[in-house]
Amino acid sequence: MGFDYENYIRPGKLPHIWCPGCGHGIVMKGLIRAIDAVGLSKDMTSIVSGIGCASRLPGYLDFCTLHTTHGRGVAFATGIKMAKPEMDVICVGGDGDGVAIGGNHFIHACRRNIDITYLIMNNHIYGMTGGQFSPTTPTGAKASTTPYGNPDPPFDIAKLAIGAGATFVARGTAYHATQIEKLLTEAIRHKGFSVVEILDSCPTTYGRRNKYKSVIEMMNHLKDSAVPIAAAEKMAAEQLKGKVITGVLYKENKPEYVAEYRKLVERVQAG
Amino acid sequence: MSNKVAFMQGNEACAHGAIYAGCRFFAGYPITPSTEVAEVMASELPKVGGSFIQMEDEIAAMAAVIGASLTGVKALTATSGPGFSLKQENIGYACITEVPCVIINVMRGGPSTGMPTGPSQSDVMQAKWGTHGDHPAICLVPASVQELFTETVRAFNLAEKFRTPVTVMPDEIVGHMRERVVFPEPGELEVVNRTAPSVPPGEYRPYDTRFGDVPPLAAFGSGYRFHVTGLNKAEDGFPTTRADFVQAEEERQVRKIENAIDEIVTWEEYLLEDAEIAIVAFGSTARSARYAVNEARKNGIKAGLFRIITYWPFPEKQIAALASQVKAIITPEMNLGMTLHEVRRCVDGKAPVSGIFRVDGEPIGPGQILARIREVA
């Protein structure tokens, strides 16, 4: 018997809003399979998002879902996890949502090491508003607000997460569909703040401005630029130029925020 | 059994009021002159099994409060001027999603950083119009330490009953002054909890108008799975651009408060029965006004005080009635005429209304009010 996706998708909510060639649907599939692999309860799982194309994901899935304000998903998720620690909380969003307007919430959630899984679909552009450059748009790339090329240097989301204290950081791409499931499965199981960045592509607002001739060409770019971490360790810096390292990039076990707070409560109540 | 009596600050009493009301979650960010609310919550919440979290900013604090409330927990945040401005984004989110929560805004001078340690009453318009779009507003303006306790309890009751954010706004003087507080015994004050759904999970819709203008709100993690969004939505909670659905939902959200005005609006009348001059005031200014009224009476001037306790919805009917009785109305306030504007709207030309305004960080004293009473007498 094949995998029962319909068990997790709300009836009548598909088709999704994502454009042909967008990888967000592939990522959603990976998320569903990871949730299934971990065996999360639909009643006891909350999926939270901010604003943007990627943030529309929770509406399609049959959980306790919360589509919040731009960049604030992680902050809402923090409230849910603190108030009801027995719930599993997954936050999803895009690059602009997560590391531009939501950057402050992102780094502090990393620092606290609160047990939330944060899935960032990084397509290097503000897609929903028509293709403005984001904090992950490559320098020199064209966007509707960088008609002469992007003067800004981009963020490396994974490095940012590690630097801020996240205890599980992984990166994959929308091309590597089966890896998405594996990375998210491990991330959800991890006790602490886990960040999974999935590099994605936006043919509609990024590809056509940046000389990608087709969706397949964009997908092939994701495929060709990805280097698994084990392979990367054996490569010289020169060989890694223009490549992105994928896989589990960082993992450590540290006290988790909510568990530590509940210990504090027990200590106070014991007097 | 005698009640516990304490001598404490307004902000401290506010926090104890929240605990009494059943608040078990606080998220905040340090800001003068409201920080003591957070400090007491940080100390008290673990004792009752609740959670306190200091967030990275005011926006996140408001977000966390809404997230916590969606799990069925009563949640509070406290802030002041600049923080209240930052919270407006997610206050609007709580309005459209109809998630109960309470915001304490201890009013200091503004705009911007203004006068962090000085009192003010200049956020009353922001409490109604601060976030964009049409939405309801409930705002309470206590005038004593005891009342800050009891109004915080009432704020939670209103938030839970009407599925809406409620703002409690003491001015800095009420927030920081110390007075005697009598702690009510459990059960002495009414404590309201939100209505849980009566339908099974499969039939639940978060904005189901079959149950009236305030549909029951299920808690995340209680077996009810549903969607919450800040987009305009239909009764099932999912986004829609269908004109008839959006219009109906927007109107219902405002109507649910408008239709309950008589239940929500509270005020205090002091020596108004035979008054020829009425002072309309609130917060610490109302305390000066009361003193001035007494002094005026000693001098044979029939003055009285209408003290606003519920600022939003504004006590329109009551003030309109006052206008046909008195020959002059005075509105002393620590802003440049916000209440004057509202009172004039209600009075509709039936009585002359004049204001006394201070925005210099000093309170309006009884002498200033008494002088105006003499002028208009």
- The interface predicted TM-score of the complex, written ipTM, equals 0.98
Grade residue B330 by pLDDT with cuts at 50, 70 and 90. Answer: very high
Residues of chain A contacting residue B64, judged by C-beta atoms under 8 Å apart: 75-76, 78-79, 82
Q: What is the CATH number of domain B268-376?
A: 3.40.50.920
Residues of chain A contacting residue B63, judged by C-beta atoms under 8 Å apart: 68-69, 72, 75-76, 78-79, 105
What is the C-alpha separation between A59 and A10, in angstroms, rounded?
8
pLDDT at B83: 98
Average pLDDT for residues B49-76, to the nearest whole number?
98
| pLDDT single digits (tens) A175-189 | 999 999 999 999 999
| pLDDT single digits (tens) B202-218 | 999 999 999 999 999 99
Shortest CA distance from B44: residue in chain A: A268
Q: Is A83 on the interface with B (CB under 8 A)?
A: yes
Interface test with chain A among B95, B131, B229, B236, by most A beta carbons within 10 Å: B229
Check pLDDT > 80 for residue A1.
Answer: no
Cβ-nearest to A80 among B49, B59, B220: B220
Tell which CATH architecture fits domain B5-182: 3-Layer(aba) Sandwich (3.40)
Average pLDDT for residues A99-120, to the nearest whole number?
98
Q: Is A12 on the interface with B (CB under 8 A)?
A: no
Average pLDDT for residues A111-137, to the nearest whole number?
98
pLDDT at B3: 87
Q: Where are the domains of chain B?
A: 5-182, 201-262, 268-376
Average pLDDT for residues A130-150, to the nearest whole number?
98
Q: What angle do CA A72, A78, B152 make, to 5 degrees?
A: 90
Name the average pLDDT for chain B.
97
CA distance A125 to chain B (A): 22
Taking the model in full, what pTM does it have? Answer: 0.98
Ordered structural domains, chain A, with CATH: 11-270 (3.40.50.970)
Contact (CB, 8 A) for B171 and B177: no
Burial class of residue A38 (count of CB atoms within 10 Å of its CB; 0-12, 13-18, 19+): middle
Grade residue A97 by pLDDT with cuts at 50, 70 and 90. Answer: very high
pLDDT at B2: 76
Whether B5-182 and B268-376 share one fold: the answer is: yes
Average pLDDT for residues B178-192, to the nearest whole number?
97
What is the C-alpha separation between B226 and B204, in angstroms, rounded?
8
Cβ-nearest to B221 among A43, A65, A108: A43
Q: Is A270 on the interface with B (CB under 8 A)?
A: no
Percent of chain B with pLDDT over 70: 100
pLDDT at B1: 56
Grade residue A147 by pLDDT with cuts at 50, 70 and 90. Answer: very high
Check pLDDT > 90 for residue A194.
Answer: yes
What is the C-alpha separation between B62 and B85, in angstroms, rounded?
11
Grade residue A243 by pLDDT with cuts at 50, 70 and 90. Answer: very high
Interchain proximity A68–B93, CB inside 8 Å: yes
Cβ-nearest to A75 among B63, B69, B231: B63
Tokens of A84: 């009801």
| pLDDT single digits (tens) B117-159 | 999 999 999 999 999 999 999 999 999 999 999 999 999 999 9
Name the average pLDDT for chain A.
97
Interchain proximity B64–A42, CB inside 8 Å: no
